[in-house]
Amino acid sequence: MSTLFTPLSLRDLTLRNRLWVSPMCQYSAVEGVPQEWHHTHLAQFASGGAGLVIAEATAVSPEGRISPDDTGLWTDAQRDAWEPIVSAIRSRGAVAAVQLAHAGRKASTWSPFSGRRGTVVAADGGWNTVAPSAVAFDGFAEPAALEVAGIDRVVADFGSAARRAVAAGFEVLEIHAAHGYLIHQFLSPLSNLREDEYGGSLENRARLLLRVIDEVTDAAPGIPLLVRFSATDWADGGWDADQTAVVARWSAERGADFFDISSGGLVAHQRITTGPGYQVDLAARVRREAGVPVSAVGMIDDAAHAERILAAGEADAIMAGREWLRDPHYGLRAADELGADIDYWPKQYARARR
């Protein structure tokens, strides 16, 4: 039996396999509302055999968007637009999840389709950004340092978005604490220069994340909760795997169920050596040191590699992004390559099954 195609349980929810779709921004929303593109984009992965399909980084407030073209969950209209998309994913046998996010100092930026880089100014539909400290990401506008009242609003926004997500039918939630966005900005000493209860010590820098976990679990009781971490900043003096393991353990004690381990994104001077499975060691380390279940992600592009990672006990699930974009039926293909006997080939595609 293939480990990759062994079901995995999160609380009372059983996922049909361990080959999952990472959240991938599409920069195709209108006023935070997902469009027909999102429906087709996400539903195809469920038809293609994914166990879990995570919708892109979805802002908990207007100012939390990476770009003006990002999806959101701060209005009921957005909630209602997500509902048929979620239904389409579930009807095809996969579990629908959404990544709740706030971009912090990396918000109000041009989408990659615009051909422009940097901060979108107010005249072009942009807004003022916020962060733990008034330290800009390279090439972006300087953010305003959040006051405690502003932090309280961010926490409340995550709770409101979680309630809307559940009302839309999402069965799993993920908190985005990675890739240089707001929660990661609080975690890393490279971007968090605060001297109050949200800065300095590891406990203080983790305070926002832990408060968000409390808020989300209160707003969505019983719903499995993932946290995505960047396990290293790939920069001297920054956030690292040791700190990630400690905070992952604290997060599990507060109610998080599973940890999605990626890396980087906080600073422009990061130095990353990439290659197939280049982040697997980070996932394995967090799994071992924190004693929590994790997924691995990053250039895991073939079924045999994914199977080896799970068989070696380095991760409990595999996230993939670009490979699903190249082949939306990656799950079906992977099962075929591994000789896994699955019962969820769409009957309409049965003639292609070997």
207 φ, ψ (degrees, to nearest 5): -60, -45
Catalytic residues: 181
Identify the DSSP state of 72. Answer: B
Whole-angstrom distance, CA of residue 291 vs CA of residue 208? 22
Angle of helix 280-290 versus helix 241-254 axis, rounded to 10: 50
Contact by Cβ (8 Å): 319, 21:
yes
Beta-bridged to residue 9, according to DSSP, are 14
**What does the angle CA 193 – CA 199 – CA 202 come to, to the nearest 5 degrees?**
120
Q: Which two tokens stand for residue 332?
A: 């079906």
Whole-angstrom distance, CA of residue 83 vs CA of residue 95? 13
Question: Which residues does 9 contact at the CB level (< 8 Å), separation at least 6?
Answer: 15
| Length of the chain measured in residues | 354
Closest of 57, 179, 78, 69 to residue 120, by C-alpha: 69
Whole-angstrom distance, CA of residue 206 vs CA of residue 203? 5
